[in-house]
Amino acid sequence: MKSFWNDSLARKYQKDALALRVYTSRLIGREPSLVLHGGGNTSVKHSIRDSFGKNIDVLYVKGSGWDLSTIEKEGFAPVRLDVLQRLAEFKTLSDSDMVKIQRSAMLDPYAPNPSVEAILHAIIPFKFVDHTHADAVVAVSNTPGGEKRIRDIYGSRVLLVPYVMPGFILARKIYEMTRRVDWKKLEGIVLLHHGIFTFDDDAKKSYQNMIRLVSKAEGYLKKKGCRITSGRRIRKTIEAPKDLLELASLRRAVARAAGIPMIALWDTGPNQLALSKLSGLRRVASQGPLTPDHIIRTKRIPVVLGRDFEKDVLTFVSDYKKYFNRFASSRHTRLDSAPRWAVWPQKGTIAFGKSAKDAGIVSDIARHTSRAILWAERLGGWRALPPKELFEMEYWELEQAKIKKVKGAPVFQGKVALVTGAASGIGRACVEALYAQGAAVAALDIDPGIQKMFQQESVLGIMCDVTNPRSVDNAISAAIRRFGGLDILITNAGTFPPSERIAEMKPKTWQKSLEINLSGHQRMLQACVPYLSLGIDPSVVVVGSKNVPAPGPGVSAYSVAKAGLTQLARVAALELAPAGIRVNVIHPNQVFDTAIWTREVLEKRARHYGMSVAAYKTNNLLKTEITSQNVADLICVMAGPVFAKTTGSQIPIDGGNERVI
C-alpha cells in the first residue's frame, strides 16, 4: 500500500494540530482499500481555551456523517477528554445514552455527533489515532484460522481484539484488555472482522504505521497468490438487449420488494466478474459483509440470481424476514426486505440504491467485498461474522433511530427518466427539473456537447440522432446500462422549419420536419416500450404544440408533424394502457427562452404583428410569459403521481388561447 505522505505539504500544518489531523485524515480517505464512504475514523487530542480563558483537554474526533476523504475542520467534534475517559469506566452504557453524554460534553454545540468510537479514541494514550477498515487486514481475519494468520503476520506488537459490537462495548473491551498493557510496546490494534487502529504522538508516524501494517497484510495475501489490484467501476455502454431487459426486470422486482423505486447499477469490473464465476458462489454469498458497518448499505448478503429473477428476489425477501424474526425483539422495526446488491452468475454484480450516488456507493462496497472474498477463498474460505452479530449491527439502536428521522422523499427518487432534445430549451429544463425532484436522467441530444453538459452523477448526457435507428438503440442501451431501467420518457426533440406556404414548400423542408418532429418520436417511443413495460409507474409525456389545435399559415411542415405526433400519442395511450404505461401530450405555445427565439427573430415577429417585443411575448389571455421552466414543471407533474389516473390527455400551456378554448 502506497503512502501519500508529503513532507512539504504536511509542514504547512505543523503548527495547527487540527489542520494536520484534517490533512492525514484525507490521506487515509484517499485510499478506498482503507476506508469506503464514511467508514473509519480519526482523532487528535488537543488543549483548547474555553470562553473563560481556561485550558481544556479535548478529543477532536471525526463527526458522524463525515467522510475521511473530504473532511474539514468542522467535521471534527471537540469533546472533553476527561468525560470520555471516565465513560470507559462505566460497566454498561446504552449507545443512545453514550451519544447524549458525549454531546453534552462537546465544546462546540454546532459540531456533528462524535463518532461512536470516540471513547475508544480517548483511552488510547497518544495524540493521533487512526482507525480504518483496511480490506487486507479484515479479509485475512475473515478466514478459517484468521486469528492465527493475523498473529503470524504481526506477532505480539499488535493487540488482537476478538469481535464485539462497535461503540461502547468495544471501547469497554479494549479498556479492560489494555489496563495492564505497556502501550509503548504496541504498534497497533487489530479488531478481528472489523478493522485496525494505529496511533502515535506524531501524525506522520501514526499514518505511516497504518500503511506499514496494512502493507504487511497485503504482502501476506500476495505470498498466498492473491491479486491486490482493486480495479475500477466498469460500465460498458453497449450490451445485448436481452441482458438489459433482464436487468430492467430485476430492478423492478427489487423496487417492488423495497416499496420504493431504485436505481440498478451493473458492474462488470474484474473482481465482480471473477466473483460471479466462482464455483462456490452460493456458499460465499450467503456468508456476510467484509466489515460489519457495510451492512447498513448492503444488507447482510446479496441475492444470487438464477433463471427467474423475480422468484430469486421473492426468495430473498422471505429469507430476510426469517432472519429478522429469528433475532428481533419488540423494540426492532424491520427494514424493507429487498436486497441491496445481486450477483449475476457469469455477468458481474448489480448494486441498488435510491439514487445513482447511493447505488454507486453500494457498488464500490461490492467491488471491495468481491475482492476480499476472492482472497479469502484462496486462504481456505470466506468466513464472515455469524448472522446474529450482523443483525445486531444492522438493527443497532443508533441506526434504528435514524429510520424515525427520515423525511419525505423527492417525488422522482429512484426513478429513471429519458429526455430527448435535452441540450437546450424545454428539454434541458426537463432534465434539470426531473433531477431536482430526485430522478436519474438520461439526457439525449444530437449536440455532442450533451456528453459533458451535466456534471451530476445522476445525469448521463448521451449523443443521439433521433432520425437514426441505431443511434436511438445505442442511446437507450447506454441509459439502461447506467441506471438499470426506464420509467419516464419525455419525447421532446424537435425542429422548427422555416416558414413556407404549401405552394412554395420545399420537399426537403417537409421531409426533414416529418422525420424529426414525427418519425423521430415514433422511433424513440417504439424502442423505449420494452423497457417502459418493465418500468415503475411508467409514463410518457409527448411535447406537442399549440399548432395542433390552432394551426397558422406557413407552418404546415411543423403543424402536420405535430398533429401526427399527437395522433401517435393517442394511439399509444390506447395500446400501452394494458402495460400500465400512461401517455399524455403537452401543447406549449410561445416559449421564447429557447434557442430558436433569438432577439432578432423575436423583434421580427413582433414587428410583423405590429407589437412591442414585451407585448408579443405575453400575447395570451393571461398576459403572461411562458418559460421553458414553466413547461418542464408541468411535464414533471404529468409524468408524476398527480397524473397517475390520466392517459391520452392533451394539456395546453400557453397562457390561455381563445382559438383553443
Catalytic site positions: 558
Task: Name the residue with cell 458525549.
Answer: 102
By C-alpha distance, which of 192, 195, 132 is closest to 161? 192
Query: CA 452, CA 594: separation in Å to the nearest integer?
Result: 20
CB of 194 to Zn ion, least distance (A): 6
Q: Does 421 bind Zn ion (CB under 5 A)?
A: no
Closest to Zn ion by CB, 66 vs 531, is 66
The interface region with Zn ion, picked from 176-184, 189-197, 261-269, 327-335 by CB under 5 A, is: 189-197
The interface region with Zn ion, picked from 181-189, 195-203, 371-379, 567-575 by CB under 5 A, is: 195-203
Closest to Zn ion by CB, 195 vs 544, is 195
By C-alpha distance, which of 160, 171, 198 is closest to 40? 198
The interface region with Zn ion, picked from 30-38, 46-54, 193-201, 254-262 by CB under 5 A, is: 193-201
CB of 376 to Zn ion, least distance (A): 19
Residue 206 amino acid letter: S
The interface region with Zn ion, picked from 156-164, 191-199, 439-447, 652-660 by CB under 5 A, is: 191-199
Query: CA 445, CA 466: separation in Å to the nearest integer?
Result: 8
Cβ atoms of residues 367 and 329 within 8 Å: no
Query: CA 203, CA 375: separation in Å to the nearest integer?
Result: 31
DSSP string, 385-421: --HHHHHHHHT-HHHHHHHHHPPPPPTTTT-EEEEES
Alpha carbon dihedral 324, 330, 331, 333, in 10-degree steps, equals 40
Closest to Zn ion by CB, 147 vs 319, is 147
The interface region with Zn ion, picked from 194-202, 276-284, 451-459, 542-550 by CB under 5 A, is: 194-202
x/- map, 146-185, Zn ion, by CB under 5 A: ----------------------------------------
Cβ atoms of residues 540 and 525 within 8 Å: yes
Determine which residue in the list 195, 270, 360, 427 makes contact with Zn ion, applying CB under 5 A: 195
Q: What is the total count of residues that contact Zn ion (CB under 5 A)?
A: 1
Query: CA 645, CA 101: separation in Å to the nearest integer?
Result: 52
Query: CA 654, CA 469: separation in Å to the nearest integer?
Result: 33
Closest to Zn ion by CB, 195 vs 640, is 195
Tell which phi-psi region holds residue 60, choosing left (phi > 0), alpha (psi between -120 and 50) or beta: beta
Burial of 551 (0-12, 13-18, 19+ CB in 10 A): middle
In degrees, to the nearest 5, what angle opens at C-alpha 131 toward C-alphas 12 and 374? 120
First CA to last CA distance, the chain: 71
The interface region with Zn ion, picked from 145-153, 187-195, 321-329, 434-442 by CB under 5 A, is: 187-195
CB of 35 to Zn ion, least distance (A): 9
Continuous segment of H or E residues that includes residue 161: strand 158-161
Query: CA 36, CA 33: separation in Å to the nearest integer?
Result: 7
CB of 381 to Zn ion, least distance (A): 24
Strands 488-491 and 539-543: parallel
Give the Cβ contact number of residue 208 at 10 Å.
Answer: 16
Closest to Zn ion by CB, 64 vs 629, is 64
Closest to Zn ion by CB, 42 vs 268, is 42
Burial of 316 (0-12, 13-18, 19+ CB in 10 A): buried
The interface region with Zn ion, picked from 190-198, 203-211, 643-651, 652-660 by CB under 5 A, is: 190-198
CB of 75 to Zn ion, least distance (A): 16
By C-alpha distance, which of 488, 262, 518, 224 is closest to 381? 224
Closest to Zn ion by CB, 147 vs 246, is 147
CB of 442 to Zn ion, least distance (A): 37
CB of 195 to Zn ion, least distance (A): 5
- Cα radius of gyration (the chain): 30
Closest to Zn ion by CB, 195 vs 549, is 195
CB of 523 to Zn ion, least distance (A): 52
Residue with the CB atom nearest Zn ion in the bound state: 195
Closest to Zn ion by CB, 30 vs 506, is 30
CB of 56 to Zn ion, least distance (A): 27
Query: CA 555, CA 495: separation in Å to the nearest integer?
Result: 12
Query: CA 168, CA 98: separation in Å to the nearest integer?
Result: 7
CB of 493 to Zn ion, least distance (A): 50
Query: CA 241, CA 471: separation in Å to the nearest integer?
Result: 14
Q: Strand, coil or helix: what is 343? A: strand
CB of 193 to Zn ion, least distance (A): 11
Closest to Zn ion by CB, 195 vs 339, is 195
The C-alpha cell that represents 338 in the structure block: 429487498
* CA dist 540 → 495, 526, 576 (Å): 20, 12, 10
x/- map, 284-303, Zn ion, by CB under 5 A: --------------------
The interface region with Zn ion, picked from 172-180, 188-196, 622-630, 639-647 by CB under 5 A, is: 188-196
**Applying CB under 5 A, which residues contact Zn ion?**
195
